Amino acid sequence: MSLISSQQVAEHSSAESCWIIVHGKVYDVTQFLPEHPGGSRIILKYAGQDATEAYDPIHPPDAITTHLPKDKHLGAVDPKTIIKVVKEVTAEEKRRQELLAARPSLDEIVNLHDFEAVAKAILPAKAWAYYSSASDDEITIRENRAAYQRIWFRPRVLRDVSTVSWATTILGQKSSLPVYISATALGKLGHPDGELNLTRAAGKHGVIQMIPTLASCSFDEIVDAAVPGQVQFLQLYVNRDREITKRYVQHAEKRGVKGLFITVDAPQLGRREKDMRMKVVDEGGVAKVQDGQGDIKKDEGVARAISSFIDPSLSWKDIPWFKSITNMPIVLKGVATPEDALLAYDYGVAGIVLSNHGGRQLDTARSGIENLIEVVEALKTRGPWPNPRFSVFVDGGIRRASDVLKAIALGASAVGVGRAFMYSFSAYGQEGVEKAFQIFREELEMNMRLIGARTIDELEPSMVDASGLSSHVGFTPIDNLYNTTYQPLALAQFKTR
Ligand code: 173
């Protein structure tokens, strides 16, 4: 195929004829403009130009090649004709680079909140807004932390805790920690290697990673980066087109994925106002969200723009179908009541994640840890507890090994951690994630000794006092570390003149 000059590409710079360059290849996206989930405006901004830099963080590398018909793949751009544009470094970027160079060394990082503080300082404002934001008034995201502080330990003593072990199994798979890496979207907003930071660190330390449907890296890149025997799960957003979902799930199973976590708490994405105010979808852009919801306006944030494929009609009726297309254990991620926990059990899935999606969906939804108590009571009506055929996981707000141990004592099989690991790699890449694992290990060792539990199996409900958990009024100690990075919501701003 002959090469295309960048001057030729530049001639197609309008909605009538729109060519763009991504990773050195030229694409005719004219007909695709109205279908782009993020709206046409953002593409038109790069019409006739190289769009790679804007494309990369929010699309897996193969998104354009798989979605665009072959006849719109025009060929490679002639490298000799590329005019290197020296981009002006913005004041924000300059400041970011300076902060990056002045980061605390990893030795100075002693807890997971440290990663959050570094990430907040060094991330581009849009990335921080996307990662840190939660829905509406952000009551639930803060409750996720506060709930753990309403649980107190009842430690046992004189139990010979010379050796303690926190190794466990998760859905029958070995895990060096009672913690798995939960799915979080768009890893390249935080670090050029995106989710691969997690894969590599997890492979080295025997931690299980849940691969997100909306990763910045492609599914295969993430699986290819795993070491032999490394366990990975898959988080699934269910497509309106079930054939696409079926192919995706069966491909994952073929590639060795060991568990399928279907997200059930996001038929529509929550309104994350910090993200919305960033206008990531670009000035004037109009994106189609779910049918019947109408068009979303320019300022609804990056997550909503790329989530139009998610099927809001997903229902319990679909569960037998999922069981028919895969032998992977199926876990429903985002259950929040004992009623639904029992339905999940009766539909024969392998488990549930008690989650409120990191406070990003229904605001003032209760915390996963609070729901755990009622859910365990309900599940006891279905047989002996713990039940070997049904796992209950919890995520949301976990920053300390003590949080992990409280959840397990109350009946969780393991817990998911999303943001904290994302902040670790945003701040320090793979090494940051490895350090986060080390912090968990050190905290687990100390806390297990102090509680008097030598193994994960020895953790039991009598080791915690959760009597205040469901009381939503009353004293919670001020969480200074969390509050230092927590950015209060702001209201609409007047124009500066
Ligand atoms: O919480 C999220 O941001 C999320 O799950 C998501 C969903 C769709 C697109 C991007 C992110």
Please report the atom of ligand 1 found closest to the CA of residue 130: 3
- Give this prediction's pTM: 0.92
Element counts in the chain: helices (H) and strands (E)? 19, 17
Angle, nearest 10°, between helix axes 368-379 and 338-346?
50
Q: pLDDT by residue (tens digit) across 312-360? A: 999 999 999 999 999 999 999 999 999 999 999 999 999 999 999 999 9
Please report the atom of ligand 1 found closest to the CA of residue 306: 9
pLDDT at 285: 33
Q: pLDDT by residue (tens digit) across 117-156? A: 999 999 999 999 999 999 999 999 999 999 999 999 999 9
Nearest CA to 204 among 182, 225, 188?
225
Residue 455 has pLDDT above 50, yes or no: yes
Least reliable range by pLDDT among 144-158, 401-415, 482-496: 482-496
In the numeric block, the tokens 């910090």 are attached to 274
**392 touches 411 (CB < 8 A):** yes
pLDDT at 472: 83
Considering only CA atoms, which residue is closest to atom 1 of ligand 1?
360
Share of the chain above pLDDT 90, in %: 80
Nearest CA to 150 among 408, 473, 419, 446?
473
Considering only CA atoms, which residue is closest to atom 8 of ligand 1?
307
Q: Of 265, 275, 282, 403, which residue is the catalytic one?
A: 265
Q: Which of 130, 189, 214, 362 to mutate to test the pocket of ligand 1 (most atoms within 8 A of CB)?
A: 214
Q: What is the CA radius of gyration of the chain?
A: 23
Mean pLDDT of the 63-70 span? 88
Q: Is 423 a catalytic residue?
A: no
Mean pLDDT of the 85-104 span? 90
Nearest CA to 486 among 122, 132, 190?
132
Mean pLDDT of the 99-122 span? 96
Own/partner long-range contacts of 168-171 (Cβ < 8 Å, ≥24 apart): 168/413, 168/414, 168/456, 170/208, 170/231, 170/259, 170/391, 170/413, 170/414, 171/233, 171/258, 171/259, 171/329, 171/331, 171/350, 171/351, 171/391
* Residue 255 burial (C-beta neighbours within 10 Å; 0-12, 13-18, 19+): middle
Considering only CA atoms, which residue is closest to atom 3 of ligand 1?
303
Q: Which two tokens stand for residue 321?
A: 């179908």
pLDDT at 491: 79
* Residue 176 burial (C-beta neighbours within 10 Å; 0-12, 13-18, 19+): middle
- Rounded to the nearest 5 percent, the helix, strand and coil shares of the chain are 40, 15, 45
Nearest CA to 359 among 177, 482, 222, 259?
482
Please report the atom of ligand 1 found closest to the CA of residue 305: 9
Residues 6+ apart with CB under 8 A from 107: none
**19 touches 12 (CB < 8 A):** yes
pLDDT at 474: 66
Residue 392 has pLDDT above 60, yes or no: yes
Q: Of 46, 130, 180, 237, which residue is the catalytic one?
A: 237
Q: Which residues lie with the beta carbon below 6 Å from any ligand 1 atom?
A: 185, 214, 266, 269, 303, 306-307, 357, 360
Q: Which two tokens stand for residue 87?
A: 């981009």
Q: Is 357 a catalytic residue?
A: yes
Question: What CA–CA distance (Å, rounded) separates 106 from 114?
Answer: 10
> Mean pLDDT over all residues of the chain?
92
pLDDT at 493: 80
Q: Is 486 a catalytic residue?
A: no
Residues 6+ apart with CB under 8 A from 495: none
Q: How far is ligand 1, taken at its centre, from the CA of residue 176, in Å? A: 28
Residue 448 has pLDDT above 50, yes or no: yes
Nearest CA to 354 among 271, 411, 423, 437?
411
Considering only CA atoms, which residue is closest to atom 11 of ligand 1?
303
Q: Of 12, 36, 113, 357, which residue is the catalytic one?
A: 357
Instruction: For residue 391, report the phi and psi dihedrals to the nearest 5 degrees.
Output: -105, 140
Give me the interface pTM, i.e. the ipTM. Answer: 0.95
Q: Where are the beta strands (DSSP E) in 279-428?
A: 287-288, 295-296, 330-335, 351-354, 391-395, 414-417
Residue 280 has pLDDT above 70, yes or no: no
Please report the atom of ligand 1 found closest to the CA of residue 357: 1
Own/partner long-range contacts of 93-101 (Cβ < 8 Å, ≥24 apart): 93/124, 96/122, 96/123, 96/124
- In which region does residue 228 sit, left (phi positive, over 0), alpha (psi from -120 to 50) or beta (all else)? beta
- 475: pLDDT confidence band, cut at 50, 70 and 90? low
Least reliable range by pLDDT among 138-152, 159-173, 291-305, 466-480: 291-305
Residue 447 has pLDDT above 50, yes or no: yes
Residue 281 has pLDDT above 80, yes or no: no
Q: pLDDT by residue (tens digit) across 189-242? A: 999 999 999 999 999 999 999 999 999 999 999 999 999 999 999 999 999 999
Q: Evaluate the CA torsion angle 264, 265, 269, 274 in order and state its sign.
A: negative
